[in-house]
Amino acid sequence: MIVDLVQRSGPVSRATIARSTNMAKPTVSAIVEELAAEGVLRELGVGEASHSGGRRPVLYEFNQASHHVLGVHIGVETTTAVLADARGHEVARAAVVTSREAPADVLASVCAAVGRMTEERGLAKNDVTAIGVCAPALIDPVEGLLVFAPNLEWRNVNIVEGLRQVNDEATIYVHNVAQAVLAAEYMEGIGQKWPNAVLLYEDNGVGAAIMIDGSIFHGVQGFAGEIGHCKLPGGQEPCNCGAKGCLETRVSVTAMLRRTGHEPNQDGTLHQQLRALVQSGDPRVKRALREVGKDLGLAASWLVNLVNPDAVVIGGGFLDAGDALLDGLIASIRDQGLPESVGGLTVQRSVLGSAAPVRGATLLALQASRRSLQRVLGSLRVPSLPLPE
Ligand SMILES: [Zn+2]
């Protein structure tokens, strides 16, 4: 509570902390002294005396250099690692290729890149106290296990073990990418005016995230939101999950390219290819992407009827599909959703855009030290996730 308060309100005295937290002054003093000794809080000299006179209080501020955190977004094409200070400000980033690499090699490359980033800044391994990871996969957040990522073809990858080399004492949290993106949007993107929101997210595969009353809904095993593998009527196209006719086979970037009449590039540049097609302004491309939006809207209308959210947000590769997809999506939700639920609904793009996944991962790492984030990301409800001592 004290760290959270000092982070939010800047330099404060022990008396102010005691007042704001309803804790006894001696308790506050003891905790503040401990935090100052650990370097989490920094003494900032003395403030103004109160009106009634008396001693001028010592002020404390949060020390953003006290520790660092790492956010890692494992994408289908590229994995991005961001090193951030204790306030969450980015200090360095690195990217490694994911596609067609073995999971152990990708994670080893991330460890090596982080080693270089910390070394360049004169940081020790144990300065990185928490690591947040997100991936387009079914994730077991309790074990930190990537259970299945159809589009990476990864199964049962122990992410925690793979990243131990960064700092074997760091707290490591792993989440599904759509869940991490929606949390990032709520904290820093679309904002907190919509505490009940659903996100539709594309990164070769397709997933959703559901936020209820400002908390990400994980489901019993952490697998909530796998809308990409819900079946559309009449679909026969084989899906990377092993089934046929999944939504993903109609609206993934590969499907979008095929539906515009183009063969997908083989070199992992599918989203660039899609952006170039959209920029060309070709009316056939627009028509096809509007139809993609309508299929996505059918799925979204089920979510809207089930969850009754404030907002439907699209992110990831759906942002590369331009206005046509969004128009089709909105039209389809209006057509097929319950009018009473659709009435007050906002449908919009992710604000953080391509920055959202790694930001979500970084926030996941930061939640180790921030109470407000713990509430949003909801990992506290996963009992065996270790919190730092
Ligand atoms: Zn599937």
> pLDDT tens digit string along 173-200?
899 999 999 999 998 999 889 999 999 9
CATH 1.20.1090.10 matches 68-180+355-381: no
- Among residues 110, 10, 118, the alpha carbon closest in space to that of 68 is found at 118
Predicted pLDDT at 52: 66
**Which residues are CB-contacts of 348 (< 8 A; sequence separation ≥ 6)?**
190, 311, 312, 313, 314
State the distance from the centre of ligand 1 to the C-alpha of 244, rounded, in angstroms. 7
2-62 with 191-350: one CATH topology? no
Answer yes or no: is pLDDT of 346 > 50.
yes
59 three-class SS: strand
The residues placing their C-beta within 5 Å of ligand 1, an ion, are 229, 239, 241, 243, 246
**Looking up tokens 């084989």, which residue turns up?**
238
Answer yes or no: is pLDDT of 8 > 90.
no
Predicted pLDDT at 379: 46
Topology (CATH level 3) of domain 2-62: Arc Repressor Mutant, subunit A (1.10.10)
Interval 139-150 mean pLDDT: 89
State the distance from the centre of ligand 1 to the C-alpha of 300, rounded, in angstroms. 17
**Any idea where the domains of the chain sit in the sequence?**
2-62, 68-180+355-381, 191-350
Interval 237-244 mean pLDDT: 92
pLDDT in tens, 276-289: 999 999 999 999 99
Q: Residues 138-165, buried b or exposed e (16+ Cβ, 10 A)?
A: bbbbebbbbbbbbbbebeebbbbebbbe
Q: Which CATH class is domain 191-350?
A: alpha beta
State the distance from the centre of ligand 1 to the C-alpha of 252, rounded, in angstroms. 11
Name the pTM for this structure: 0.86
The torsion angles phi and psi of 220, rounded to 5 degrees, stand at: -60, -45
For the ranges 28-32, 168-172, 298-302, the one whose mean pLDDT is highest: 298-302
The torsion angles phi and psi of 179, rounded to 5 degrees, stand at: -65, -40
Q: Residues 311-324, buried b or exposed e (16+ Cβ, 10 A)?
A: bbbbbbbbbbbbeb
Interval 144-153 mean pLDDT: 91
State the distance from the centre of ligand 1 to the C-alpha of 248, rounded, in angstroms. 6
State the distance from the centre of ligand 1 to the C-alpha of 226, rounded, in angstroms. 9
Predicted pLDDT at 367: 81
Residue bearing the bigger pLDDT, 321 or 55: 321
